[in-house]
Chain A
Amino acid sequence: MAVLEKNTMISLAEDAVKAALKQGAQDAEAYVYEGQASNIGIELGQISKTNRIIDRGIGIRVAANKAIGFAYTNIVEDQKAIEKAVSGALSAARASKPDPDWNGLPQKKNYSETHKTYDKKILALTSEELVNIAATMLDAAGQVDKRVFPIEGGIGSAYIANAIANSNGVTGFDRGTVIECSVATLAKEGNSVTPVCFEFNAGRTYNLDPAWIGREAAKLAVSALKTKPVETKSGKVILTQFALQDLLSYTLINAIRADSVQRDQSPFKGKLGEKVASENLTIYDDGLFAGGLHTWAFDGEGAPHQKTPVIEKGILKNFLYDNYSARKDGKESTGNASRAGYLSTPGIDTTNFHIMPGTKTAQEMLSEVDDGLIIYYLQGAHSSNPVSGEFSVVATPAWKIKNGEITHCSRGVMLAGNIFELLKNISVVGGNERQMGQLIAPWIQVENVRVIGQ
């Protein structure tokens, strides 16, 4: 099915806004989304499934007497369905309670140009080519070792487009591409099964190395076959991007959201300008990062994306704002209103959360550790206390580092502590940056982490 044209999407949004104003809304906003994705899937060691998903819809947010209503529909071809959504949003608002803090929708501002977010090559990929890429990855994993079993994975390409309009004259359209290729493997020997080891490439432009993905996932699984316990103690831990992503998304990210701060849910409240982390740590929320998985011209309510310093050399610089929380603090939105397609209202989230890299290579980092652990994957990070930052998680698995070399794998190792203490104990920030979901980060070495062995 052909994608909706830019003009069609913008007029869908603008017409809905006009209709809402006509029906008595004080503020109105319409967000139109379209996603078309093709996936080739690996299951139980073979390419055995495919899917093609087309999803489009419109979400309408209105304010009537400072009360907010929202309605959506995925029937965009039918003018009546859209009108029904508009009146649904208004009736929801009229049923709701006024919010004294409501202070309007974003004002019209200029958008910056985004880079490396749209690649025609991704859209031109045929199903045959996708199957071949998946096969290359699968074969590479299988060739590493007979004990490796690729359990799932695949390759997916997608086209995504957003249009927005509001009653302050904001109109925007942006579109982009995404490609993702991944495989999850485990290794089996006798009765011993390793944890799932995962590797991937994901990006906005076509730049894949499927053989590398297959090989790396398989190598990790094989290295997790033989395990030895580690002792319970506090020590050095290198966190890879997988572990960082898990840990940070349930703790630090919550603490820097302006709504958490305003609701007394962040230990960072009142700490702007103070030292909250090791001086090695600098983090930007960069919604314009070239090729970033979350790079778009504007956010979920049409505020321009920007690059916001969050922590610079350990000093807390800014919180992340949407328009609502910004108005409450007398500030400007930082462009962090995030939206799950057309199905919901925006909420504050990071764009590309960029931990600035240091200079050391992975090899240099490992070689300088005399006694420690390296953690790839974590389990249970979502059970962390999002307010206090306390966590108690399992490494699945951990690898022991002795005299600069990875010596063996260990299962069931627990890490416990507090993310905000952990930030202060960062001793090395690597140079091996990579992108993983909202995180762009290198490896990070932390001192004095509580490790509970078996």
Chain B
Amino acid sequence: MKDLIAKITNTATQKFGAKYAEARAQKLYKTSLTLKEERVEAAKQGIENGVAIRVLVNGAWGFASVGSFDDAILESAVSDACRMAKLASARLKTPIKLANTKVVNDRVISKPKKNPADIQMEEKIKTALSINKASLGFDKRIKSCSVDYFDLTGTSTFANSEGTFIEQDKLYVWSRITASAASEGVFTFSREEIGSTAGYELFDTQVPEVLGVKVAKLAIEQLNAKSPKGGKFPVVLGPNVVGVFVHEAFGHLAEADLALSGGVLDSNLGKKIGSDLVTFYDDGTIEGAFGAFKYDDEGVPSHKTLLIKDGVVTGLMHNRETAQKFNAQPTGNARAEDFRVEPIIRMRCTYMAPKDQSFEELVKGVKAGYYFKSFRGGQANLDGTFQVGIQEGYEIVNGELGSAVRNASISGSTLETLHKVDGVGKDFMLDPGRCGKGQTAFISDGGPHIRISEVVVGGSA
């Protein structure tokens, strides 16, 4: 494999005039399952081989992907990439340059306690089935339950024309459980995701039966919940909602490509955009966390990146191209879903740092508002408008938790909202998730419980 990809980068630089070239050859093995109401929809497995080639010619990027390790096919792909990049470069105003990064030679071996590749399909089905059964058996108002299971193992071999060569194992184990409940014309829906880069031992801590019940309970509780009132309210957010808030409302704006695209953070570097209680990280070094890895897909070591410290924007997430533009260090955030796509700036494990308050103290400070414990989807726009849908929520009345509410959402402007964080808890939790930005990336996000003095709550009542 080393010779194969060395040949690609040599051909690009020596024969086709590329100033920089990289190749990423991957062998990926995937298993997936979907169970619905104890029925196995299909047990699936797949093998994918392919090479991604990226070249810089006259300051423009050329990218080619082929599902083959064949010499002649790869040569024609390199030639395509270089030719197209050269054509595109004719209109460039600002040629692309890359920040320097050290040359790396490394072999990264994953060391799972239980390698998903060694676990029999029967065993995986059994695990998914226990989740499914526990959920469906919890209450007769549970009408349906789906369990998706996915694992990926394999190796990604990266080399570039600067001499970096990295052979890195890939390992992901992931599951999503959704349940629906119905009673007296009310339909509710709940979901939960788990994931790890450690191994199949994930199910030793995420006990299938407990997981199934947890999802079922969420759907049942919403049956008697009421619609929240729309308007501005103080809210306490659980770690699960804080995570998606940090990811969506702030994280995307701190991706340097989006900041350069005119996102609101470009003009706020070094400025105070939040209360003193606000400190955010994007950390690719948490062992076993969904979204953690040693090297990104440009061969840059993954960092723990400080994004906001005490309310002040201190850094952005970079690839080599944006790091050069900002005169910063690449942070190891360039990730590609697989060999079919080019690396782009993605988050890893994005979270808010905990402080010192208890959950009770946070809730006590709210006269009339809401506690939003877990989310269902979230999204943000470059202008700093965010929206997070709420799965599990409660009223807070005079400092105490009240009735459950369903189908709430919060929204607002990130920059205004971060100033309104007036309480941060001492607890901490990370949740795995998937993020879409044209490609899917496995990520984690989280934080402690926090209180926001005012946010727009979307409700239909």
* A263 on interface, CB distance cutoff 8 Å: yes
**Is there contact, CB below 8 Å, between B64 and A75?**
no
* A56 on interface, CB distance cutoff 8 Å: yes
* B63 on interface, CB distance cutoff 8 Å: yes
What A residues does B85 contact at CB under 8 A?
49-50
**Is there contact, CB below 8 Å, between B187 and A382?**
no
**Is there contact, CB below 8 Å, between A412 and B456?**
yes
Interface residues of A in 190-241 (CB under 8 A from B): 191, 193-196, 232
What B residues does A379 contact at CB under 8 A?
379-381, 385-387, 411
* A131 on interface, CB distance cutoff 8 Å: yes
Please measure, in the bound complex, the distance between the C-alpha atom of A50 and the C-alpha atom of B383, giving whole angstroms.
27
Please measure, in the bound complex, the distance between the C-alpha atom of A47 and the C-alpha atom of B389, giving whole angstroms.
36
B7 CB, nearest partner CB in chain A, Å = 18
**Is there contact, CB below 8 Å, between B91 and A70?**
no
What B residues does A77 contact at CB under 8 A?
68, 70
**Is there contact, CB below 8 Å, between B91 and A47?**
yes
What B residues does A454 contact at CB under 8 A?
456
* A127 on interface, CB distance cutoff 8 Å: yes
**Is there contact, CB below 8 Å, between B121 and A85?**
no
* A317 on interface, CB distance cutoff 8 Å: no
* A40 on interface, CB distance cutoff 8 Å: yes
A195 CB, nearest partner CB in chain B, Å = 5
What B residues does A359 contact at CB under 8 A?
none
Known A-B contacts A186-B383, A263-B144; A81 and B47 likewise in contact (beta carbons under 8 Å)? yes
Please measure, in the bound complex, the distance between the C-alpha atom of A203 and the C-alpha atom of B41, giving whole angstroms.
34
**Is there contact, CB below 8 Å, between A385 and B407?**
yes
* A91 on interface, CB distance cutoff 8 Å: yes
Number of inter-chain CB pairs below 8 Å? 294
* A135 on interface, CB distance cutoff 8 Å: yes
* A425 on interface, CB distance cutoff 8 Å: no
Mark contacts of A27-41 with chain B using CB atoms, 8 A cut-off: 1 yes-contact digit, 0 otherwise. 000000000001011
Stretch with Cβ within 8 A of A (4 or more), from B13-21, B259-267, B275-283, B357-365:
B259-267
Q: Chain A: which residue is nearest B73 at the CB level?
A: A1
B410 CB, nearest partner CB in chain A, Å = 9
Please measure, in the bound complex, the distance between the C-alpha atom of A97 and the C-alpha atom of B121, giving whole angstroms.
11
What A residues does B62 contact at CB under 8 A?
49-51
A337 CB, nearest partner CB in chain B, Å = 13
**Is there contact, CB below 8 Å, between B460 and A50?**
no
Known A-B contacts A52-B63, A383-B409, A414-B411; A195 and B385 likewise in contact (beta carbons under 8 Å)? yes
What A residues does B40 contact at CB under 8 A?
67-68, 96-97, 99
Q: Per a CB cutoff under 8 Å, which of A85, A345, A388 touches B189? A: A388
* B88 on interface, CB distance cutoff 8 Å: yes
Known A-B contacts A95-B121, A127-B83; A387 and B88 likewise in contact (beta carbons under 8 Å)? no
* B94 on interface, CB distance cutoff 8 Å: yes
**Is there contact, CB below 8 Å, between B188 and A91?**
no
Q: Chain A: which residue is nearest B80 at the CB level?
A: A52
Mark contacts of A79-92 with chain B using CB atoms, 8 A cut-off: 1 yes-contact digit, 0 otherwise. 00100110011011
**Is there contact, CB below 8 Å, between B264 and A193?**
yes
**Is there contact, CB below 8 Å, between B387 and A380?**
yes
What A residues does B340 contact at CB under 8 A?
53, 55
What A residues does B67 contact at CB under 8 A?
54-57, 74-75
Interface residues of A in 236-262 (CB under 8 A from B): none
**Is there contact, CB below 8 Å, between B460 and A417?**
yes
Stretch with Cβ within 8 A of B (4 or more), from A104-112, A281-289, A301-309, A392-400:
A392-400
* A354 on interface, CB distance cutoff 8 Å: no
* A452 on interface, CB distance cutoff 8 Å: yes
**Is there contact, CB below 8 Å, between A186 and B385?**
no
* B384 on interface, CB distance cutoff 8 Å: yes
**Is there contact, CB below 8 Å, between A394 and B385?**
yes
Interface residues of A in 130-188 (CB under 8 A from B): 131, 135, 149, 151-152, 186, 188
A89 CB, nearest partner CB in chain B, Å = 8
* B127 on interface, CB distance cutoff 8 Å: no
Known A-B contacts A52-B84, A68-B40, A392-B459; A193 and B384 likewise in contact (beta carbons under 8 Å)? yes
Mark contacts of B152-183 with chain A using CB atoms, 8 A cut-off: 1 yes-contact digit, 0 otherwise. 00000000000000000000000000001010
* A48 on interface, CB distance cutoff 8 Å: yes
A183 CB, nearest partner CB in chain B, Å = 12
Mark contacts of A440-454 with chain B using CB atoms, 8 A cut-off: 1 yes-contact digit, 0 otherwise. 000000000010101
Interface residues of B in 78-96 (CB under 8 A from A): 80-81, 83-85, 87-94, 96
**Is there contact, CB below 8 Å, between B42 and A70?**
yes
* A69 on interface, CB distance cutoff 8 Å: yes
**Is there contact, CB below 8 Å, between A92 and B459?**
no
Q: Chain B: which residue is nearest A415 at the CB level?
A: B458
Q: Chain A: which residue is nearest B96 at the CB level?
A: A48
What A residues does B420 contact at CB under 8 A?
none
Mark contacts of A355-374 with chain B using CB atoms, 8 A cut-off: 1 yes-contact digit, 0 otherwise. 00000000000000000000
Known A-B contacts A40-B88, A48-B88, A392-B408; A191 and B63 likewise in contact (beta carbons under 8 Å)? no
* B122 on interface, CB distance cutoff 8 Å: yes
* A435 on interface, CB distance cutoff 8 Å: no
Q: Chain B: which residue is nearest A452 at the CB level?
A: B230
B200 CB, nearest partner CB in chain A, Å = 16
* B192 on interface, CB distance cutoff 8 Å: no
* A122 on interface, CB distance cutoff 8 Å: no
Please measure, in the bound complex, the distance between the C-alpha atom of A265 and the C-alpha atom of B188, giving whole angstroms.
9
* A46 on interface, CB distance cutoff 8 Å: yes
* A44 on interface, CB distance cutoff 8 Å: yes
What A residues does B73 contact at CB under 8 A?
1
Q: Chain A: which residue is nearest B67 at the CB level?
A: A74
In the complex, which of the residues A186, A380, A382 has the most CB atoms of chain B within 10 Å of its own CB atom?
A380
* B100 on interface, CB distance cutoff 8 Å: no
**Is there contact, CB below 8 Å, between B409 and A193?**
no
Q: Per a CB cutoff under 8 Å, which of A88, A191, A383 touches B388? A: A383
Please measure, in the bound complex, the distance between the C-alpha atom of A204 and the C-alpha atom of B305, giving whole angstroms.
44
A-B contact pairs, 9 of them (CB 8 A): A72-B44, A75-B49, A193-B383, A379-B386, A392-B389, A394-B385, A396-B381, A412-B411, A418-B460
User: Lowest 6 CB-CB distances: which A-B pairs, in order?
Assistant: A383-B389, A383-B377, A380-B387, A95-B121, A392-B458, A50-B84
Task: Using CB atoms and an 8 Å cutoff, list the residues of chain A in contact with chain B.
Answer: 1, 38, 40-41, 43-57, 61, 67-75, 77, 81, 84-85, 88-89, 91-93, 95-97, 99, 101, 127-128, 131, 135, 149, 151-152, 186, 188, 191, 193-196, 232, 263-265, 267, 343-345, 379-380, 382-388, 390-394, 396, 411-412, 414-418, 450, 452, 454
Given contacts A93-B43, A195-B382, 5 further A-B contacts (CB under 8 A): A95-B43, A264-B143, A267-B187, A385-B407, A412-B412
